[in-house]
Structure 1
């Protein structure tokens, strides 16, 4: 059985949807998209809405009876018959896997010392990575207000909840991330500069492993503050400054930056927003 993987880019740049199909002499019309989706409903009554606007209703809802999603967004892998249904339409589909995406915060204020107490190993742009659930993590937009950022950080593997080396431990849940925008800070015209800070419980604990996980950030309040300050409704690009280190110690951080496009991703929709 030969597997093919295709990539589709939503809004021309960043939101990537994967497809796979099997070939048995003839092309199998079953496709399996993978994407960040908005979570609707609750346990036993979930549905998932794509960034393109269509909604997936699980055909195998009973298989999700034990899935409890406490997040607004999830990474969803689902399958359907492409000979009967189009991609960009509401449909019933088989949910193969679903993973809740944890939320970060985005605040329109300057950073203070108490905002961070742990370093970040790295940020990634447009690169598929494997994090502890075993699914890809990549930079993506759901819409112009909701952004998913893959963050690699240190965690304590001695507190693992299972024997699988990719399985998360208790320490994973002690990490939180926030973006800060200081309207009084100078930046290049057309650039939205935000500072990413990492906080963790028990910051003095030595953390010996790295984990990469996509976090969701709603930047609506930041964009509003940016527009009020600059008169620009949409920045050309976003720059995220973060505190990087090659160890888990917060004493040896250096400042690094990740830069990516913003306005060009959404410029076709500017007139309608």
Structure 2
């Protein structure tokens, strides 16, 4: 059993001085990378941090396609001399942008036809309900042009278990079943490469107004191949949910 090493996405709203120049003055430019919420207003994008400030791109022309994601990894660079202490906005150059795909809720009770290699126990919290989980799985290594198509064949779902289904379910414990499904299971023998991606999940789908002590995520694990075969074992990670919320989001109060 793995116990969660949680990470909360708190980024200090301050300039970090870089290496000194030959003149002995600090580098006024700061570069940061974090998970940010994507805001889209009529094709104009901005990115909001977990602590409330917003990055507005000075080079929005580099975003050449529609960002079909609620969150993204964003690397941005700005001149600390241009900061306005009275504003919660930062004008910055976007240097890297990676949309984060969703962990969907399993309304249709899909079953696993592919195993997980690893599910990270380091769960990242943006706020008390939006979490990010690193999923490691086998995929078929292809050309760059075909990689997007291959990754699109992998879907991941979470579903809340009932007390009848799982003995770990309790008044203060929520159990979630993680499902990995591929569209072409017959091709699993070619999936020999291992990769990791971050997925977003909105806990509002499962909390239903509650504030549990613990959330347990259970999944099928196979570190030898993607197949759901004799090498598969039942594995799980645990999230000390109430402790995290009370420690890092106390302003949210006791109500979800």
Specify the SS of the correspondent of 1:265. Answer: helix
User: Is the Cα–Cα contact under 8 Å of residues 43 and 66 in structure 2 kept in the other structure?
Assistant: no
Partner of 1:28: 27
Q: Does 1:191 align with 2:169?
A: no
Partner of 1:74: 72
Specify the SS of the correspondent of 2:44. Answer: coil
Question: 1:17: how far off?
Answer: 4.6
Superposed CA RMSD = 2.8
Q: Does 1:123 align with 2:119?
A: yes
TM-score (norm 1): 0.76
Q: Deviations over 1:77-102 (max 9, x none)?
A: 11123344269922221111111101
Q: List runs of 5+ in structure 1 lacking aligned partners.
A: 1-11, 127-138, 228-232
Specify the SS of the correspondent of 1:269. Answer: helix
User: Is the Cα–Cα contact under 8 Å of residues 194 and 239 in structure 1 kept in the other structure?
Assistant: yes
How far apart, in 1, do the equivalents of 2:96 and 2:75 lie? 5
Q: Deviations over 1:56-93 (max 9, x none)?
A: 111111222x1431111111111123344269922221
1:237 to 214, 218, 221: 214
How far apart, in 1, do the equivalents of 2:26 and 2:172 lie? 47
1:210 to 184, 187, 194: 194
Partner of 2:3: none
User: Is the Cα–Cα contact under 8 Å of residues 38 and 72 in structure 2 kept in the other structure?
Assistant: yes
Q: Deviations over 1:21-69 (max 9, x none)?
A: 63024432322221111111168511111122222111111222x1431
Q: Deviations over 1:169-222 (max 9, x none)?
A: 531111010111123233255322111010011112111101100011112121
Q: List runs of 5+ in structure 2 lacking aligned partners.
A: 1-5
Specify the SS of the correspondent of 1:33. Answer: strand
Superposition misfits of 4+ residues, deviation over 4 angstroms: 16-21
Distance 1:192 1:204, change over 3 A: same
User: Is the Cα–Cα contact under 8 Å of residues 160 and 169 in structure 1 kept in the other structure?
Assistant: no
**Number of residue pairs the alignment of both structures matches:** 234
Which of structures 1 and 2 has the larger relative contact order (alpha carbons within 8 angstroms, sep 6+)? Answer: 2
How far apart, in 1, do the equivalents of 2:211 and 2:10 lie? 22
1:170 to 149, 166, 170: 149
How far apart, in 2, do the equivalents of 1:17 and 1:53 lie? 10
